[in-house]
């Protein structure tokens, strides 16, 4: 009668123990039908069964990356966005539409730092204005005025929002109401992360820390919040 192995939910360790118990039971049952073993034989048999370990899992195979394009510029301040049709590489002065197997299509734009891709356009700040440029190319239009470069933009669908820091260290999350900026959140603590889904904005906030506080500064917990575009 063959030894029966059972599959355990908890993993390979339990499979080994169950197999050993079943095998040990068969050994005991066979004792009456074959030559009797000494205690030393039993110890050797038990030790041999218990030492069995499962084989180490194989490392997953990784595909070699495909190079889509090469630029003679630094990757610093570059960002990537994706839609259903292509990948978009956004640098400080251009946006590139990348599709595997096709030549890259570039549009010269003064994207600066932290642009975003909406459903149909690139949104960015330049020369005191927030702009929208069609991702397929076309006329760039002004969305509204803003006095200085935001830290970065986020988008969902056609809506956008951004993080800004004033000269006195106040952080805000803002969006556009028509053509005018509107503050959604104002914080004396640093806003470290921001993302947007539909009409909801999610952010991580670090409680206020005095800028001239001595090092090492105490650890502070981050708070997570949500704001709505209304």
Q: What is the pLDDT of residues 106-139, one digit of tens each?
A: 999 999 999 999 999 999 999 999 999 999 899 9
Query: In this structure, are 220 and 120 located in the same domain?
Result: yes
Q: For residue 189, what pLDDT is reported?
A: 86
Using the 8-state DSSP alphabet, how is residue 31 labeled?
T
Are both 42 and 90 inside the same structural domain? no
Please tell me the predicted confidence (pLDDT) of residue 224. Answer: 54
Residues 58 and 149 both lie in one domain: no
In a domain, 150, yes or no: yes
pLDDT at position 122, please? 98
Asked if residue 72 is part of any domain, the answer here is no
Asked whether residue 4 is assigned to any structural domain, the reply reads yes
With 0-12 / 13-18 / 19 or more C-beta atoms within 10 angstroms meaning exposed / middle / buried, residue 95 is buried
Tell me which residue range forms the domain holding 137: 79-228
pLDDT of residue 113: 92
Which of 230, 110, 120, 119 has the alpha carbon at shortest distance from 175?
230
Look at residue 55 in the predicted model and tell me its pLDDT: 75
Q: Check: pTM over 0.75? Answer yes or no.
A: no
Q: What is d(CA 122, CA 81) in angstroms, rounded to the nearest whole number?
A: 10
More reliable by pLDDT, 10 or 214: 214
Structural domain total, the chain: 2
């Amino acid at each position: 009668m063959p030894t029966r192995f059972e599959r355990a939910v908890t993993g390979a360790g339990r499979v080994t123990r169950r197999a050993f118990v079943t095998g040990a039971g068969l050994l005991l049952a066979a004792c009456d039908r074959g030559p009797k073993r000494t205690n030393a034989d039993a110890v050797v048999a038990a030790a041999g069964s218990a030492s069995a370990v499962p084989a180490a899992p194989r490392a997953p195979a990784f595909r070699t990356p495909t190079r889509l394009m090469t630029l003679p510029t630094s990757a610093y301040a570059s960002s990537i966005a994706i839609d259903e049709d292509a990948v978009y590489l956004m640098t400080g002065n251009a946006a590139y539409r990348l599709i595997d197997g096709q030549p890259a299509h570039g549009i010269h734009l003064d994207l600066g730092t932290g642009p975003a891709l909406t459903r149909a356009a690139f949104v960015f700040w330049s020369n005191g204005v927030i702009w929208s440029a069609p991702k397929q190319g076309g006329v760039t239009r002004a969305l509204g005025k803003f006095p200085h470069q935001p830290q970065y933009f986020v988008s969902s669908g056609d809506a956008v929002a951004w993080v800004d820091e004033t000269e006195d260290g106040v952080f805000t999350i803002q969006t556009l109401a028509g053509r005018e900026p509107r503050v959604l959140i104002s914080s004396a603590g640093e806003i470290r992360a921001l993302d947007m889904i539909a009409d909801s904005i999610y952010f991580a906030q670090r409680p206020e820390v005095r800028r001239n506080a001595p090092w090492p500064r105490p650890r502070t917990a981050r708070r997570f919040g949500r704001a709505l575009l209304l």
